[in-house]
A and B are shown apart, each in its own frame.
Chain A
Amino acid sequence: MFKSMKKPLLLALTLMIIATFSIPMFAINANATGAPATTTAPASDATTATASTTANTTSGSLLLDDQAGLLTAEEAPKVLEALQVASSESHCNIVVLTTNTGLAEGSIESYARSYYKNNIENKSETNHTVTLTVDIQSRKVNVHGFNVDGSKQTINDNEATEIREDITDDLTAGLYEDAFTKFAKEASKIAGAIDENGNLMKSSFPWLKRTLISLVIGFVLALIICFIIKSQLTSVAMQSGAADYIRPNSLNITQSRDQFLYSTVTKTAKPKSSDSGGSSRGGGGGSSTGSF
């Protein structure tokens, strides 16, 4: 009985290992469970920051820095209010920055980091921060998470990309108020798992998510295995051709022509990896940059 299941079980084991190591969703909060952090932040800073956090956040004006003037006088207060509410609910600074200086892909991230260092880090009541930076000249947009503790992430790369992609259409359409308000809500929702003491509470949610994903993968694999075993019961089918009745050595190809017609090239943006190197103190969150 078990001999007949040997092949399907071997297949299942292979698929399982592939699934475990290749499905990016499993990498949620990878750093939170002890894997090496892609960004290193001095441990002393982390301790200090964690100890100093309270339920309050950065003063309102620092949450919105519209250097590019994308928001009208009526829109700006509404966005600021949305950012304040989001920041308060999530115990995390939800910040929107706009520029008009033609920042390239790498520079836009540096700009956000620099703003964070100069205006927020150790100056606000929590260092947990998610920034949205929009450069209207280069039409680049970046979502970046900053953390209290370099070994934990406020948001990861996938989450940063998810937020960025959700607001790209509004940015493209010039609906900046909508885009920034949506950003405030989504960043607050994702980063909202930070408790009043500034500690990340996200660990429980990803485990539920992971278990559900594991269940779905487990079910699909089990279904594949069951159908492979079930196929042993079927041995009747029409033949597709008459390969058994080809006269030996009768195949003779008299004309061959292989002709190039055209080619297509598709390109897919690489997921932006999180900050690297020890220079970005407190910048260990996920990051995602794209165009709009």
Chain B
Amino acid sequence: MADVQEYKCPNCGGALNFDSGIQKMKCPFCDCEFEMDALKELDADLDKNVEDEFTWEAAGSGQWTEEETQGMKVYVCQSCGGEIVGDETMGATSCPYCDNPVVVKGSFAGDLKPDFIIPFKHDRNAAKEGLNKHLLKKFFLPKVFKDQNHIDEVKGLYVPFWLFDTDVDGQVNYEATKVRHWSDSNYDYTETSYFNVYRAGNIAFDKIPVDGSTQMPDDLMESVEPFDFNEATNFQTAYMAGYLADRYDVDDKQSINRANERVKQSTEDSFKESVVGYTTVTTKNSNIRTFNGKTSYAMYPVWILNTTYNDEKFLFAMNGQTGKFVGNLPLDKGKFALTLAGLTVGLTAIITLLQFLFY
């Protein structure tokens, strides 16, 4: 006995019937009509919609040699619990995250050795200058914050990043619309045509960084991106002299989910660029399969600055390679309210005047 295929309306989800008069499938609920071939292909596309498949090779198991770790100490923050690594001469006095005193815990051991490092290109002065520039042209920034802002310590920190390389096979379905307007003497008409757009293809990603430290806010680290991996070199402890290094406490397996999210999003976005000629394009579903996935471990340079304003801590970061400076700033609520009131009065007066002039 042949299988009975039931089709659902892509518009309202109701069960479709075959209308012999028009030789098309028709929805009895919303009156939409569909060609049989279009429905078959849509169903076939939806059937392909299986689970995403992400395959990654584990990070290398590079180990530190005794000589490399000999002069390195682990510093522990008494307040936030953050652990940083520095050389014996570092004598770190305060935590780069919360500015509280840190103590030397002991010798460094146990972590994987980084595969790569991007050395600092911008120095401490550049970081301070970056902060000054960052505070410029900020209308709602409290004047006190700008004038009395003292960053006591600027710390150069190597942040642990897991880097993900992968090839991707993707299949993405988009819902696209074309909108057409016309009028007659009595009515304005709007016709919206709906399309199922399917794209399949492949794409590859190199060295997607995912922050491996829970102490370092993820959004802060993603905000200082991008890093140019072309300037990375094989890891050597010599590059760490004079800088601190954060210890990773999130391993590569835990970081993979974030890499997968970014891969999926960028694959959908990249394929979408080939969907042209439509008024709107919305991603409906996608099936992503990664292969040749490879993970590596690198230290990326970040200048960390923190300050306190009205008992609230503000953390700033500068990409030690590109000089990109980020960090949220406090709002002058009084100035905000005054500006809002002033603009409201001014704009109301202008709009009223314009009405008076033109009507």
Contacts and interface: CB of A to CB of B under 8 A. Distances in A.
A254 B32 CA distance: 31
B38 interface: yes
A261 B8 CA distance: 12
Task: Output the residue of B34, B35, B344 with the most chain A CB within 10 A.
Answer: B344
B358 A21 contact: yes
Contacts of B183: 270
Interface string B210-229: 00000001111011011000
Contact of A232 (B38, B138, B262): B138
B11 A26 contact: no
B134 to A, nearest CB: 8
Contact of A270 (B188, B325, B345, B355): B188
A269 B193 contact: no
A105 interface: yes
A260 B38 contact: yes
Given A20-B351, A264-B192, A229 B271 contact: no
A54 to B, nearest CB: 31
Nearest to A215: B348
A226 B343 CA distance: 9
A239 to B, nearest CB: 4
Find the residue from A26, A258, A270 having the highest chain B CB count within 10 A: A258
Contact of A259 (B38, B199, B265): B38
A232 B355 contact: no
Contacts of A230: 140, 331, 336
Given A250-B202, A255-B200, A261-B196, A237 B355 contact: no
A233 B191 contact: no
A20 B355 CA distance: 7
B266 interface: yes
Contact of A233 (B176, B218, B226, B328): B328
Contacts of A242: 205, 208, 259, 262-263, 265-266
Given A221-B343, A241-B266, A259 B205 contact: no
Contact of A236 (B33, B187, B204, B327): B327
Contacts of B349: 218
A4 interface: yes
A253 B359 CA distance: 55
A260 B331 CA distance: 50
Contacts of A21: 358
A267 B189 contact: yes
A233 B358 contact: no
Contacts of B126: none
A61 interface: no
A268 B189 CA distance: 7
Contacts of A26: 355, 359
Contacts of B197: 257-259
Contact of B340 (A30, A217, A222, A243): A222
A225 interface: yes
Interface residues of B, number: 87
B204 A233 contact: no
A30 B358 CA distance: 9
A254 B200 contact: yes
A261 to B, nearest CB: 5
Contact of B266 (A234, A246, A255): A246
Interface string A99-125: 000000100000000000000000000
A226 B208 CA distance: 36
A114 B359 CA distance: 31
Interface in B140-199: 140-141, 167, 171, 176, 183, 185-199
A6 to B, nearest CB: 10
B189 to A, nearest CB: 5
B347 A217 contact: yes
Interface string A201-243: 0000000001100110111011101100110111111111111
A242 B35 CA distance: 38
Contacts of A223: 340
A35 interface: yes
B274 A27 contact: no
27 contacts: A1-B139, A16-B354, A27-B359, A215-B348, A218-B347, A221-B343, A222-B343, A226-B339, A230-B336, A233-B138, A234-B329, A236-B217, A236-B223, A238-B218, A242-B266, A246-B206, A247-B204, A251-B202, A251-B270, A252-B202, A253-B271, A256-B199, A258-B275, A260-B195, A262-B33, A262-B34, A263-B191
Given A226-B339, A245-B205, A247-B206, 4 more contacts: A4-B138, A12-B343, A218-B350, A251-B202
The 7 closest A-B pairs by CB, nearest first: A218-B348, A241-B266, A222-B343, A218-B347, A244-B226, A250-B204, A255-B200
Interface of A: 1, 3-5, 12, 16-17, 19-21, 26-27, 30, 33, 35, 105, 210-211, 214-215, 217-219, 221-223, 225-226, 229-230, 232-247, 250-270
